[in-house]
Structure 1
Amino acid sequence: MKLYGSDDIEEVGPMTVKASTESVTQRVERQLRSDILTLALPPGSRLSEQDIGERYGSSRQPGREALIALSKSRLVEILPQRGAVIAKISIAKLMQAAFVREAIETAVIRSACSSFHFHARTRLEDCLKAQERAVESSDRAEFRRYDDLFHRTLADGAGLMMAWTVVEDLKAHIDRACCLSLGKGDALRKLLAEHKAIVAALDARDSHAAEAAMKSHLSELLQDLPTLEAAHPDIFE
């Protein structure tokens, strides 16, 4: 397995962005996006620039810019003279996003099996250990944080961070449904086992097994989707 030199990999830091490195507008957009994706602000909720300012401690302008940015991702719908409403989870958009994500991430893991940076492999192990702790404490938010970092690190280690940038944008249509599915029984433990299977195939340089493990992992949500939609008809469309 080829290992990149130390200058060939983008170091992945914490998932949160330090306040000193982002503007107020960036912070508000990040926090609002997070609250939408984690369903802290559920689909159908009305938002105004004033509401956002009060919630995140900003003036109206950052709230306005955050709404415009998130409307481009179809997470909010701006209503002229009436503020905005958080979009419902679109089954059609989710299915398309899942299709594209699978195509990209299976290609990433296939490439990773032939060329992966050893520092990224260490970070994968850190992700798995953090997720094990999250499973034991039933901390879904922490598990999801390291789920994102796990998939990002796979792309980073393979030298394909542009692929992750595309996936990260697409995931907005998937993440909210994921939040619902993580509340089911032993969902966290099952997802952790799938991550370990992906890493085992990566370590064995078995691209066929790695692709199969990734496809199985990414298909979990699609299998749960009919049940989730039936249980939460008010937030899907």
Structure 2
Amino acid sequence: MQNDQVRALRYAVVWSDQHPMSWLEGAFPVSYTVDGWHLSLEESELVAEPSVPMAADEAMEALTPILSAWQASLEITEHLVVTFTYRGADPVLVDGGSVLGTDVVAATFNASVAVKRPSPPAPSWEWKDTEVTSAARELCLRPVRRGTRTVPDAAYWLLTHLKAWAGSEAKAADRLNVSRSYMKHFRTQGARSSERKVGTGMKVSTEGEKAALAKVLEELVLRLHLVESGLRAGEFLTR
């Protein structure tokens, strides 16, 4: 016999990146304890146990910010994408009853690491993933890393995104703790590139310029995540 509460949530796990990757022998299992949850990670499965039994919907809602923090921090700092797909729940058993089945729902969370690793890197649990940060990764950072979006085009998009987030380019610079000249240079390098738009006044970006622009793009996306998480953006940057 079982009641409507669960003692664990189970997720299928898939690791991916633009480069082939594998894990060294002994990399798993890995365990974490965070915000009252015990997380047991195998290469292809995550078992998440709350400190006390709760309804499945309540448990999934409580776990979502934790998986989101996992997603965001690994993709930004480790270049690793991991996908968690909800597979079901272990119900609380009453009177020694047996489990007849589990609830299976499709719910996917994305998180990104590279080549051959000894073990999964620990996430930064204090991070928060918002609509603003998620869009910056999915529409800007990830396509650039995978080579499916040009750096100048992604840079121009990111600046527009940051202006909408902060209210203006100047306010975005202030919130991200960079100089306004730093932000202006980022804007002009993206806006005037012929890889983004063909026309009068556009220029061909050199490989060195694109590499430098990609470095700034990475830094701004990182700082956006830190600020949205209520953390310090980092040392003041200028050019």
Pair in the same fold by TM > 0.5:
no
Provide TM-score, normalisation by structure 2. Answer: 0.27
Bigger CA radius of gyration: 2
Q: Judging by fraction of residues, say which structure has more strand.
A: 2
TM-score of the two chains, using structure 1 as the length reference: 0.27
